[in-house]
Structure formats: C-alpha cells, structure tokens
C-alpha cells in the first residue's frame, strides 16, 4: 500500500493552506506517511483514498456516516430536494416537517432550530441559557469538546483571558466538584453543558455513573440553571430518540449533528416550551441554513434509524468487533484497553502514555485495509455486516503480528 498521491497533495496543500490539512482530520498526530491524507470516494462501510487504497472504515467521517456512504434512500431524498433548488429566500416545508419529526421523536422537545455544524448550536445554546436565566456562567466538563468557539476550543491560538471568564470546568462524573461550583457561583450559573458520556481525544471514554446523572439533573433544577446536552457525536447512535433517554439526563436543550443526516450538513437544537420565547430572542442565522436537501436527508435518516433500530444493530456489530479485537490482543500478547459503548468503541494499547504504540497499531491496521484512529473514538457503521466485522478482524489479526515499538 502506498500513499504517494496523498503525500503529493499534502505537499501542495501545505503551500497554500495553513497547516496543510487543519482541524480534526490533520495528520499531525499520526505516524508520517502511515495513513491516507485525502479521500476519493466511498460506498457503504468502505472508502477509497486518492491512491486507490480501500479501507473498511471505522471512523465514518468522524461520526456522520452512520448508515454508510451513498445510502440509497438518503441520497434519493436529498437529490429530490436538491432538484428543486438550494439556498432559497425562504425555508421550504421540510423545515417544518423536520422540526415536527424531532419534537415527536424526542420526549422533552417542544421546538427545534437548525444550523449546519454542531458548534453553531453549542454556541447558540449557551446564549439561550444566558437569555433564559439572565446569568453569565456556564459549567462544562474538563476536556469535553463542544467546538471551535473561543469559550470552548481545545486550541491555544487567538484566545484572550476574557473568553473564558464566565466558563468553569470540572472533571466528568465528579459530583463534589460539580456541587462546589454550584455553591461558589450560586445565582450566577446559566447552564451546565454536558456530553452524554465523556469521549475526549487522547484518552479513554468514560460512561456516566447514575449518581452523576442524578446530580446533574438535581443541581440544575435546584439552581434554576439549564441543562444542555451536547449530543452532537452520540445522538441517534445510542438510541433512536437522543442519548438522554439511555442515561437518564433531563436536558432543557439538546444539540444533534453528526448522525442526523448521514453526512449531509445540518445540525439541530431542541428545547422545552418554557424556553421557546427566550430562544426566539437569540439571533440565529447563516447563509445556508435553509437549504432543503440536508433537511430531506435528515428526515430520511431519522426514519431509517427508527425503522431499522439502527442503534441496536450498531451495538450488536460493535460487541462482535470489540470482543474479537480484545481476544486478538490476547492471542498476540498485546494488552489492550477498551472503553466507550460498543457502537462507539475506542481501543488502545495499555501502558502507552504517549499513544506511540497505539499509533503504530493503527498504522498497521491501515496497512491491512482497516481505518482506525489512534486517539479518537471509533464509529461502527450500520452498512457493516457480520462478514465485514469478521473481515476487519482477520485483517487486524495480521496487523497485530507486526511488532510494536
């Protein structure tokens, strides 16, 4: 397997684009030359890079491709809407249909708004919390990702101290730390923003304890703060109706994005009736927000997720994959650590603080045609079959034979 075209394109990119490839798809944290840098096409649970190498894909575009590339029903719905036009002067009826679908599907949701990316609406949601409560402070989980805005970016460039002046963070599942923040900032807290489980980069995933979920629910209620569930990454993968229903969160607002439209650009924020008037006072717009094709794709994707119970399918496939992967580790004498739900697993080499051995393992997997990421959780695709999982495991058996540093 070679990556000559990828490398050549990357050299051209570095000349004209800051960082060459920026953001979460940057190759900076992988072993140079060990992974493809540019994609060419995809079908089902496989994609092909610009050198013609094909991979069984366990990242799915970092989450959006829940049903696989080129899902016929989703693409037909999006194409039909696309034929009618793109960015009109007005939304189409699909806007209303999609808002109705989400409010019917999600038990606490009385209204919905739409944008393009997850971060559009995590930003908007904290403004809604401030508008509702007329308070400044936002509590967030330390190390949780909510987007690229100054209040939450994991980056270091371009920040000034006042960006974070009203943000306080605490460790996931740490009830005393959360209680202490509510005490310290009594009367000042607008909202608590959470991901359903903790899925940081460069670390294991952590599921919430029932006690932590109960404390979040209780403290937000007692202090009149809004609970905001950032379900951008997990939403509609763990359940058909939002991840709060799996773990027992009682959110006031929730944001969905990645799995919502199987790769078409759209995000949604839903909320409760008492916050609707305040939400209408927080300005929200964008050049492309009313584009009907992603709304048609979202309607089709949501229908398929419910009709085929996709979360259950992803869990069954994920369990087969994780169990198989861990037993391959035992066979090859490599201690592996697995974390997160089976449908969004993350497996790394144990005793690997620098992630170097995990990077080598993922590079060996890529060389065998299985695309894994060394420090970000993975995503099972509903386009996979048990045969695809077994094919991936057979390839990983060969990958695990390669020596690790």
What is the contact surface with ligand PMP in residues (CB under 6 A)? 117-119, 122, 145-147, 195, 230, 232-233, 257
User: What is the phi/psi pair of residue 350, to 5°?
Assistant: -70, 160
Helix (H, G, I), strand (E, B) or coil at 251: coil
User: What is the phi/psi pair of residue 132, to 5°?
Assistant: -65, -45
- To ligand PMP, the closest distance from the beta carbon of 39 in angstroms equals 17
d(CA 104, CA 108): 9
Give the DSSP letter string of 158-202.
T--GGGGTTEEEE-TT-HHHHHHHHHHTTTTEEEEEE-SSB--TT
Give the DSSP letter string of 252-302.
SEEEE-TTTTTTSS-EEEEE-GGGHHHHHTS----TTTT-HHHHHHHHHHH
- To ligand PMP, the closest distance from the beta carbon of 54 in angstroms equals 25
- To ligand PMP, the closest distance from the beta carbon of 366 in angstroms equals 21
- To ligand PMP, the closest distance from the beta carbon of 329 in angstroms equals 27
Nearer to ligand PMP among residue 78 and residue 260 (C-beta): 260
d(CA 191, CA 224): 9
Two structure tokens written together for 180: 């202490």
Q: Which residues pair with 336 in a beta bridge?
A: 349
> In 3-state terms, the chain is what percent helix, strand and coil (to 5)?
40, 15, 45
Q: Would you say 179 and 213 are in contact if contact means Cβ atoms under 8 Å apart?
A: no
Nearer to ligand PMP among residue 305 and residue 344 (C-beta): 344
Give the DSSP letter string of 199-245.
--TTS--BPPPHHHHHHHHHHHHHHTPEEEEE-TTTTTTS-SS-THH
Nearer to ligand PMP among residue 131 and residue 230 (C-beta): 230
- To ligand PMP, the closest distance from the beta carbon of 234 in angstroms equals 8
- To ligand PMP, the closest distance from the beta carbon of 344 in angstroms equals 11
Beta strand 46-49 pairing with 39-43: antiparallel
Contacts of residue 29, Cβ cutoff 8 Å, sequence gap at least 6: 355, 359, 374, 375
Nearer to ligand PMP among residue 88 and residue 288 (C-beta): 288
Nearer to ligand PMP among residue 3 and residue 197 (C-beta): 197
Among candidates 216, 269, 225, 240, which has minimal Cα distance to 98?
A: 269
Nearer to ligand PMP among residue 233 and residue 395 (C-beta): 233
Q: Would you say 66 and 382 are in contact if contact means Cβ atoms under 8 Å apart?
A: yes
Nearer to ligand PMP among residue 156 and residue 186 (C-beta): 156
- To ligand PMP, the closest distance from the beta carbon of 58 in angstroms equals 16
- To ligand PMP, the closest distance from the beta carbon of 209 in angstroms equals 19
Q: How far is CA 347 from CA 171, 185, 313, in A?
A: 22, 38, 20
Nearer to ligand PMP among residue 20 and residue 154 (C-beta): 154
- To ligand PMP, the closest distance from the beta carbon of 114 in angstroms equals 13
Nearer to ligand PMP among residue 143 and residue 324 (C-beta): 143
User: What is the phi/psi pair of residue 304, to 5°?
Assistant: -65, -40
């Amino acid at each position: 397997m070679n990556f000559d075209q990828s490398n050549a394109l990357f050299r051209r990119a570095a000349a004209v684009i800051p960082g060459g490839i920026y953001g979460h798809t940057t190759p900076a944290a992988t072993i140079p030359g060990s992974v493809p840098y540019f994609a060419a096409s995809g079908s089902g649970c496989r994609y092909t890079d610009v050198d013609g190498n094909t991979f069984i894909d366990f990242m799915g575009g970092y989450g959006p491709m829940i049903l696989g590339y080129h899902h016929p029903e989703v693409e037909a719905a999006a194409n039909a809407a696309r034929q009618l036009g793109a960015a009109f002067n007005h939304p189409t009826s699909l806007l209303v249909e999609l808002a109705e679908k989400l409010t019917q599907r999600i038990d606490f949701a009385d209204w919905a708004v739409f944008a393009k990316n997850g971060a559009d609406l995590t930003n908007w949601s904290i403004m809604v919390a401030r508008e509702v409560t007329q308070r400044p402070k936002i509590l967030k989980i330390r190390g949780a990702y909510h987007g690229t805005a100054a209040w939450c970016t994991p980056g270091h460039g371009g920040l000034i101290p006042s960006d974070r002046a009203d943000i306080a963070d605490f460790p996931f599942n740490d009830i005393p730390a959360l209680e202490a923040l509510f005490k310290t900032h009594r009367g000042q807290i607008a909202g608590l923003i959470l991901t359903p489980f903790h899925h940081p980069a460069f670390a294991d995933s952590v599921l919430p304890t029932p006690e932590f979920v109960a404390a979040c629910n209780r403290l937000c209620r007692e202090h009149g703060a809004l609970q905001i569930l950032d379900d951008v990454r997990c939403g509609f993968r763990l359940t058909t109706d939002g991840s709060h229903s799996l773990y027992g969160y009682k959110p006031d607002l929730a944001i969905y994005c990645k799995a919502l439209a199987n790769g078409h650009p759209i995000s949604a924020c839903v909320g409760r009736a008492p916050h609707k008037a305040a939400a209408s006072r927080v300005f929200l717009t964008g050049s492309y927000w009313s584009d009907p094709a992603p709304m048609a794709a979202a309607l089709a994707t949501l229908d398929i997720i419910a009709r085929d119970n996709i979360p259950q399918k992803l869990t069954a496939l994920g369990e087969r994959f994780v169990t198989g992967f861990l037993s391959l580790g035992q066979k090859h004498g490599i201690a592996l650590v697995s974390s997160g739900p089976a449908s969004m697993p993350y497996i790394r080499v144990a005793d690997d603080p620098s992630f170097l051995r995990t990077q080598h393992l993922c590079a060996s997997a890529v060389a065998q045609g299985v695309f894994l990421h060394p420090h970000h959780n993975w995503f099972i695709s509903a386009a996979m079959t048990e045969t695809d999982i077994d094919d991936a495991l057979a390839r990983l058996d060969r990958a695990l034979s390669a020596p690790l540093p």
